């Protein structure tokens, strides 16, 4: 990515709290990633432990909703997290060296994929400062009908906002209704397969159910700046040796 493209992406991100990197992966690059994710979705990935997958409530046969921490169970997913096209933007915004916190799949299966309540990511995490960014890689075209992610532009400047239990397995926290958030524009971000959307850990976002006949799969990675530290080890759900993904 050219220095010009990197600084334009960083400026957009600073303004809105998210930025779309359209067509970041070519079809040839995204296909093997998509195929491996399908193995997880279809229950063929025997490296995934049962405690790190959850299914859509009431789905019969059970349809996968989320998988967590895939990079710990399969080095292929760690390799994807090291993709220089993503890491270079992270370094531009967060500084070096960038570390990886987590990976997760939002499978949003056809017809039964449920909503993700509005939330910020930071209230879920035992870290400070709030210098963490999620890269959301589209494994399918995302549309209004299949539940594309919606971001509240500028909400990352509001600080950490009150959340309450949401009752949703996989997304246990939901934003408490907040006038400052309601005053900002929410943008539904439709992207093509292979695109990547970065969002700040304080940006409010959500998604609606998948009402289409096709899945809407998003593979996410969460990156941390060199300054981020664990504030409450008892809330960590993985070992604290976060892999450095910046090249030395
Ligand atoms: O994929 C979705 O629907 C929600 C994504 C999300 O909550 C996240 O990336 O933090």
Ligand 1 proximal residues by C-beta, below 6 Å? 106, 108, 116, 121, 134, 136, 149, 205, 207, 218, 220
Among residues of the chain, what percentage have pLDDT more than 70?
Answer: 100
Please determine, for residue 45, whether its predicted confidence score (pLDDT) is greater than 90. yes
Nearest ligand 1 atom to the CA of 104 is 9
Nearest ligand 1 atom to the CA of 121 is 10
* pLDDT tens column, 186-204: 999 999 999 999 999 999 9
Average pLDDT over residues 46-71: 97
* pLDDT tens column, 100-148: 999 999 999 999 999 999 999 999 999 999 999 999 999 999 999 999 9
| β partners of residue 220 | 104, 136
CA of 116 to the centre of ligand 1 (A): 7
Tokens 């300054």 appear where?
Answer: 227
Average pLDDT over residues 220-248: 94
Contact predicate 17/157, CB 8 Å: yes
Confidence of residue 99 (pLDDT cuts 50, 70, 90): very high
Contact predicate 145/211, CB 8 Å: yes
CA of 208 to the centre of ligand 1 (A): 10
CA of 11 to the centre of ligand 1 (A): 22
How many angstroms separate the CA atoms of 88 and 115, rounded?
A: 31
Domains belonging to the chain, first-starting first, are 3-235 (2.60.120.620)
Q: Output 147 or 170, whichever has higher pLDDT.
A: 147
């Amino acid at each position: 990515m050219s220095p010009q493209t990197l600084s334009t992406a960083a400026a957009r991100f600073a303004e809105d709290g998210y930025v779309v990197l359209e067509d970041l992966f070519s079809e040839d690059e995204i296909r093997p990633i998509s195929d491996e994710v399908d193995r997880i979705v279809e229950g063929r990935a025997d490296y995934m432990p049962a405690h790190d997958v959850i299914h859509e409530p009431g789905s019969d046969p059970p349809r996968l909703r989320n998988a967590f921490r895939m990079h710990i169970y399969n080095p292929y997913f760690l390799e994807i997290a090291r993709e220089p096209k993503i890491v270079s933007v992270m370094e531009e915004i967060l500084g070096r060296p960038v570390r990886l916190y987590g990976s997760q799949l939002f499978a949003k299966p056809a017809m039964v994929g449920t909503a993700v309540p509005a939330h910020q990511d930071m209230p879920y995490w035992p870290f400070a400062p709030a210098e963490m960014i999620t890269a959301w890689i589209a494994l399918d075209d995302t549309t209004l009908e299949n539940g594309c992610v919606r971001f509240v532009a500028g909400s990352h400047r509001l600080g950490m906002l009150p959340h309450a239990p949401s009752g949703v397995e996989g997304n246990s926290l939901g934003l408490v209704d907040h006038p400052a958030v309601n005053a900002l524009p929410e943008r539904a971000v439709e992207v093509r397969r292979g695109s990547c959307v970065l969002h700040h850990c304080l940006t409010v976002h959500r998604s609606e159910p998948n009402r289409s006949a096709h899945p809407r799969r998003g593979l996410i990675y969460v990156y941390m700046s060199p300054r981020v530290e664990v504030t409450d080890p008892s809330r960590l759900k993985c070992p604290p040796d976060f892999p450095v993904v910046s090249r030395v």
